[in-house]
Amino acid sequence: MNMSIQGCRGFAILLVFSLHVYGAATTAGWMEPFSESSLRFRIMMGSAAGVEIFFIISGYLAVASIRKANGFSRYLVNRIIRVYPVFLVLHLLVFTMGPLIGYKWLKDISLIAYIFHFFTNLFLLPGVFKIPIAQPLAWALSYIMAFYLLWGMVFAAYTARHESRVSIIIFLIAAALSLVFIYYRPRAIFFLVGLAAYYTEPFIKKNFNTQMLSSFLAISCLAIMLMMLSISGYKNLMYIAVASLFGYVFSVLFITNDHFVKRIMNMRWLVNLGNISYSFFLIHTFVMFPMKAIFKNLDCLYAHQYLSISAFAGISFVASFLLSIVMYRYIETGFVRRYLEKKVSVWNQGKDGP
């Protein structure tokens, strides 16, 4: 895996984490929310675009992933194996403990509603569809799985377009569904940014010398992208589309050059954080939930605003980091590599056999 891409994942998770620290601090009463008209508020809301950076990376890597899988079904199975192990552990935790501790809408839930929401959340429908969500950040996984499905269909059907008319029909249907998906869920456009960066990378490298001022331009485009998304409220399609153009320029500059920004992303600690970023992304809100409850009962911290926020952020980060390492080693990669990938390998051999 490209170290700078992993470092970019680490940077993205820091953005998301900082936003959730701000959210916890304001709802706990440790600080007053920033004015919505202030620059500080716009900058903080721009941190939510860490998710868009994940989407760009997913789009950029999607082509190589499906080519390596050598088939739509294998590609989709590989993506499910990538997404589900960590998610499933937390899904079972939420639906086991949620009703017991009265977590959000799981409090006093009926059996029929429990079964319905268990399976709709299991299949990652909330996010793409307006269904109550149990894991707050799983909406991003809903987008990602929808992208994997639609992209896999588009790629496979387009590749086989000369072999049958059915493939052409499937391609047109999948392409139309993709446009509908982006129209109703505009943030999904950043998957296309990653795809565009992948396909135009050879042309850019061959025909343009983007080394000059590349660090300045990359930082500027990233900052404009974050600010445009913040202003859009992550809902306005026009603003998001413009932001995606700056996201594309940032992505191309980042991929095609060895510059200051790329060297920052190659820093070991950021790469290590990027390695566990998926587990960290899902786990850190689970850590923050009890931490916030504990810190709210420490009355002495209310007199020391920055102390309380710093302590909460520091302890939550360290705890999330350590739990993510465990999840990464034993669930995200350990369990997958020892069991699931072995099963899939046997399945693939069976399909390839006589």
Residue 248 has pLDDT above 90, yes or no: yes
Q: Indicate the SS3 state at residue 148.
A: helix
Q: Dig out the tokens for 335 from the structure.
A: 């369990």
Query: What is the rounded distance in angstroms from the CA atom of residue 310 to the CA atom of residue 173?
Result: 50
Which carries the bigger pLDDT value, residue 180 or residue 339?
A: 180
Task: Look at residue 51 in the predicted model and tell me its pLDDT.
Answer: 96
DSSP secondary-structure letter at 187?
G
Residue 351 has pLDDT above 60, yes or no: no
Contact status, residue 52 vs residue 229, Cβ threshold 8 Å: yes
Residue 352 has pLDDT above 60, yes or no: no
Task: Look at residue 354 in the predicted model and tell me its pLDDT.
Answer: 32
Query: Mind listing the pLDDT tens digit for each residue in 293-327?
Result: 888 777 655 556 777 788 889 999 999 999 999 99
Contact status, residue 9 vs residue 52, Cβ threshold 8 Å: no
Task: Look at residue 348 in the predicted model and tell me its pLDDT.
Answer: 56
pTM for the model? 0.92
Query: Mind listing the pLDDT tens digit for each residue in 172-191?
Result: 999 999 999 999 999 999 99
Query: Mind listing the pLDDT tens digit for each residue in 192-209?
Result: 999 999 999 988 888 776
Contact status, residue 200 vs residue 252, Cβ threshold 8 Å: yes
Radius of gyration of the chain (CA): 21
Average pLDDT score over the chain:
88
Q: Dig out the tokens for 47 from the structure.
A: 């941190």
Question: Residue 209: phi, psi to the nearest 5?
Answer: -95, 95
Q: What is the dihedral of CA 42, 44, 47, 49, to 10 degrees?
A: -30
Query: What is the rounded distance in angstroms from the CA atom of residue 132 to the CA atom of residue 105?
Result: 8
Task: Look at residue 299 in the predicted model and tell me its pLDDT.
Answer: 60
Rounded to an integer, what is the distance from CA 270 to the centroid of its chain?
17
Residue 211 has pLDDT above 80, yes or no: no
Query: What is the rounded distance in angstroms from the CA atom of residue 322 to the CA atom of residue 307?
Result: 22
